[in-house]
Amino acid sequence: MLHRAARRPQFFYTTAPLPCPYLAGRTERKIVTELSGTDAEPLHDRLSRAGFRRSHNIAYSPVCPGCRACIPIRIVAGAFQPDRTQRKIMRANADLSAVEMPARASAEQFALFQRYQGARHGDGDMAAMGFYDYRAMVEDTPITTGMVEFRDERGKLVGACLTDWLSDGLSAVYSFFEPEEAKRSLGTYAILWLVSRARSLSLPYVYLGYWVPQSQKMSYKSRFRPSETLSGGIWRVLPEDGAGAEAMAETDGQDKISVTG
């Protein structure tokens, strides 16, 4: 008789309360689990479809009491239609070349990362990261991950996007860009590039993490249409005005998290 090896149980933990990084006066808590071993890739796939995000070898999802402001969002790549502003951004960056690199940190990337943090998030925790912290963010991954570098005609690195590769799409983990090139809207361009890349690979989605309608820093994620948001364990097309999702974000309680399938 054949005996299957017992499957290692997956443990989930809740973090201690911390100040919310997006909405003043609110408290953040997360449910987290480790991604490791041969099951890391399929587990990460399932968790991503359940609204989780990855940092290093940890997958996490917000479970903040009385708040659902963080809404998982993904772009439907095959049906995506850029609006006028997005088409303008694509033309403005037509001179850039994009190179897909292994998830390896470089001094050039880190220098750009530091300039970006200093200009855009100088009061945040990431602004104090040293090179070894940055290298851990890029390289400590148990799944298929890469770095997309964007360079101008002179070969100068002007933007980068750490990206996870899923069975059903691409997941934008973290992007940063040259603050002196603000007119290029490189953050938006990186997402547009990921959509194009997903389409070329016949991958249906680009995962953008959490959309926070009440946060100006995070509101841009709803501008890519069509998009889907996760509510009650079901991905639904985001209405053009976003009203349904915004109303959901104001409702107390927390959706049940499912990681099956």
pLDDT of residue 12: 96
Domain-wise residue ranges, the chain: 72-237
Task: Mention the CATH class of domain 72-237.
Answer: alpha beta
pLDDT of residue 259: 56
pLDDT of residue 216: 85
- Residue 66, φ and ψ in degrees, nearest 5: 70, 15
pLDDT of residue 141: 97
What percentage of the chain has pLDDT greater than the value 90? 79
pLDDT of residue 218: 85
Three-state SS sequence of the chain: CCCCCCCCCCCCEECCCEECCCCCCCEECEEEEECCCCCHHHHHHHHHHCCCEEECCEEEEECCCCCCCCEEEEEEHHHCCCCHHHHHHHHHCCCCEEEEEECCCCHHHHHHHHHHHHHHCCCCHHHHCCHHHHHHHHHCCCCCEEEEEEECCCCCEEEEEEEEEECCEEEEEEEEECHHHHHHCHHHHHHHHHHHHHHHCCCCEEEEEEECCCCCCCHHHHHCCCEEEEECCEEEECCCCCHHHHHHHCCCCCCCCCCCC
Listed in sequence order, the residues at least 6 apart from 162 whose beta carbon sits closer than 8 Å to its beta carbon are: 103, 137, 138, 145, 146, 147, 172, 173, 174, 175
Q: How confident is the chain (261 residues) per 10-residue block, as mean pLDDT?
A: 64 94 92 96 97 97 93 98 97 98 98 93 81 97 98 98 98 97 96 98 98 89 97 94 54 48 50
Express each pLDDT in 46-89 by its tens digit: 999 999 999 999 999 999 988 999 999 999 999 999 999 999 99
